[in-house]
Structure 1
């Protein structure tokens, strides 16, 4: 009898892996893989082709982040206002076309414009993809679905950069651009075959701040800025820090982050749906502090790589948790805004962390103070979470 009951309960669970969800997750992976594949080779490509210096290449590369951040509030508004499939398809198409632009231009100022445009279309298309994916999820399994959807980004992060670098060293830069372009075209085909119900024709509410920014999620937005601030220096300076410590194989640092992220995302979503959202995010926030303290004071490869895995593990709790909070604080017609608010916090934090980290490293002549500052920022975030953010969510959530 008990076995039959368990089977019956499973049969009653609403379907998660629908055709729409699978296609959006696959297209999202292809978009992010194409982007991450380009990441390690782009500085080399710019310096070699345009005969410029590291500083100029760095400015051009950073325009991608600036473009993504600039469009985030408007991306949410567009996703909530326009038909989602055409918006998703055409911004994905423009994102794909930018790979041709990198190779076609011969003036660095035009390359900078292409890089900025790439960020703009990335910001809108990823906001649309997150929203389409969430729309396809049953409410009772939303946390689980968000966790699985995030794995598409984590897999791209784990495999894209090393693939791009291998291809560049073996065959040159052209093959990297061609493969990125081809993968994005496959992604476009997947997006085109999506079956998304057309938006109901309703009178649009008057323009207000919450059409561009989810004001109900201000505490989540602020907390996520701190999390992004801590991760920013990891994206740019971990190889330099490893060199200072005399630790080789820094590429494994990112692989271990991705491993921690993927393992935890698989488990976290189901626990969120069972009502453990507040506890899981709190655990992730505290574990993140431990990871950065280990990183700031590490003197051996073991501690260095353990810190990487713990960063990934903590982010595997934090990412789906904060996104679920933002979505549950929003009305159904504000899901695009909720996703853009969540992603904007991350973008702002990453950018601020990279800028502050570079300035601190230049001032102190080393990177240890940078990661110590990250740990301090996360302590502040942890205090904010338990005293403000979690309580605000429980008082104001509309769903979940």
Structure 2
């Protein structure tokens, strides 16, 4: 006899397999990040500016496909779409070594971003499909840990392998890990897409219009994080603080710790409070970072950024999914991810311009803190109320 209070299973075979494949995809990507500028400059004898443009095309490619990724995930059979875009993502690693002209590498980098954008949207949607609705927040939190673990270990591993053995071994390991991921994807049990009459094309098949407030808020969060991805090492140098690599490790630690607990609280009805707390903590973290004068405040800000994002990430994703119909989950995930991509891109571009104008990075992070204050006000006056009024699930 089954106990009426027994929770529905979370760690099903499909969910676990999808999380493992997602980790392998992100790890293969993250271990390439620290070595790619050096690889491009050495192989193509180019300058830092050109290498930076080529590298940024990955983000542009991922962003360009997000709205269409959601449409494809909701329209086509999810498993074949996931498998073949993951397969194309894997082939791109071979191209880095095979291509000999910088324009061709630029095209490849853009295509790599396209494949990444579609495959990650598909993986998120397949994982959410495998979750019981009563434990969706918890499951989204755990699924996000697969990305956080890759973020915490990938760049460090890639740099160690590059320094010890050169770039070839890094690309080879990325390919091998992706092949293992492909095998895992192939074992997923995903129900075939039901054949339904084609609905007329409309905006909400590409962008979840119900989630505009969440999308807008998430752009602000991404905007603040953009400069963190590119300029922390330079800021640490300005402050005379060494070991800036630990900054990212501490962000990942804060993220993982909170991810493991946030989901359960979301499922118990604390979604609005948790995201609000995360938004407010994020403001404190960036003000702390902007006025850092010692390693304690600098690295403390990193852990606090991770802690706040551990509340914000699963919270906003759960909101978007709960605002969508079942047949709009792909669109919900692509809308959520698009807000982050747009914010990151604007933050990186604006951060570089501001740093050049002001001559240092302190003002960049102070501006990020002010942007987050605006986002916090928007959240409590608009986004949270909108969610409570229009949510379909949760």
Same fold, TM-score > 0.5, yes or no = yes
The equivalent residue for 2:230 is: 236
The equivalent residue for 1:396 is: 390
Structure 2 counterpart SS, 1:12: coil
Equivalent of 1:80 in 51, 69, 74: 74
TM-superposed deviation, 1:10: 8.6
TM-superposed deviation, 1:199: 1.4
Equivalent of 1:35 in 16, 29, 35: 29
Equivalent of 2:198 in 191, 204, 212: 204
The equivalent residue for 1:220 is: 214
How many residues of Structure 1 are paired with residues of Structure 2 in the alignment? Answer: 394
**Cα distance in 1, alignment partners of residues 334 and 159 from structure 2:** 31
1:188 counterpart = 2:174: no
- CA deviation string 1:169-194 (max 9, x = no partner): 00000000000000000000000011
- Structure 2: unaligned runs, 5 residues or longer: none
Structure 2 counterpart SS, 1:339: helix
**Cα distance in 1, alignment partners of residues 106 and 176 from structure 2:** 23
1:116 counterpart = 2:136: no
The equivalent residue for 2:377 is: 383
- CA deviation string 1:60-82 (max 9, x = no partner): 00000000000000000000000
**Cα distance in 2, alignment partners of residues 47 and 283 from structure 1:** 43
Please show how residues 133-212 of structure 1 align to structure 2 within 5 Å: 133-212=127-206
**Cα distance in 1, alignment partners of residues 82 and 264 from structure 2:** 28
Structure 1 counterpart SS, 2:306: helix
- Structure 1: unaligned runs, 5 residues or longer: 1-6
Structure 1 counterpart SS, 2:192: coil
**Cα distance in 1, alignment partners of residues 35 and 244 from structure 2:** 16
CA spacing shift, 1:10–1:289, aligned 2, 3 Å: farther
The equivalent residue for 1:18 is: 12
**Cα distance in 2, alignment partners of residues 98 and 268 from structure 1:** 35
1:255 counterpart = 2:242: no
TM-score, scaled to structure 2: 0.99
**Cα distance in 2, alignment partners of residues 254 and 12 from structure 1:** 38
CA spacing shift, 1:185–1:279, aligned 2, 3 Å: same
TM-superposed deviation, 1:204: 2.3
Structure 1 counterpart SS, 2:310: helix
TM-superposed deviation, 1:102: 0.4
**Cα distance in 2, alignment partners of residues 161 and 330 from structure 1:** 35
Equivalent of 2:289 in 295, 305, 310: 295
CA spacing shift, 1:10–1:105, aligned 2, 3 Å: farther
1:277 counterpart = 2:271: yes
The equivalent residue for 1:334 is: 328
TM-superposed deviation, 1:8: 7.3
TM-score, scaled to structure 1: 0.98
The equivalent residue for 2:122 is: 128
Equivalent of 2:314 in 312, 320, 328: 320
**Cα distance in 2, alignment partners of residues 83 and 176 from structure 1:** 33
**Cα distance in 1, alignment partners of residues 328 and 158 from structure 2:** 37
- CA deviation string 1:81-130 (max 9, x = no partner): 00000000000000000000000000000000110000000000000000
Consecutive aligned runs of 4 or more in structure 1 exceeding 2 Å deviation: 7-11
1:367 counterpart = 2:375: no
Structure 2 counterpart SS, 1:162: helix
CA spacing shift, 1:11–1:17, aligned 2, 3 Å: farther
**Cα distance in 1, alignment partners of residues 268 and 344 from structure 2:** 31
The equivalent residue for 2:39 is: 45
Structure 1 counterpart SS, 2:200: coil
The equivalent residue for 2:98 is: 104
- CA deviation string 1:333-361 (max 9, x = no partner): 00000000000000000000000000000
CA RMSD of aligned residues (A): 1.0
TM-superposed deviation, 1:9: 5.9
- CA deviation string 1:276-300 (max 9, x = no partner): 0000000000000000000000100
- CA deviation string 1:12-45 (max 9, x = no partner): 2000000000010000000000000000000000
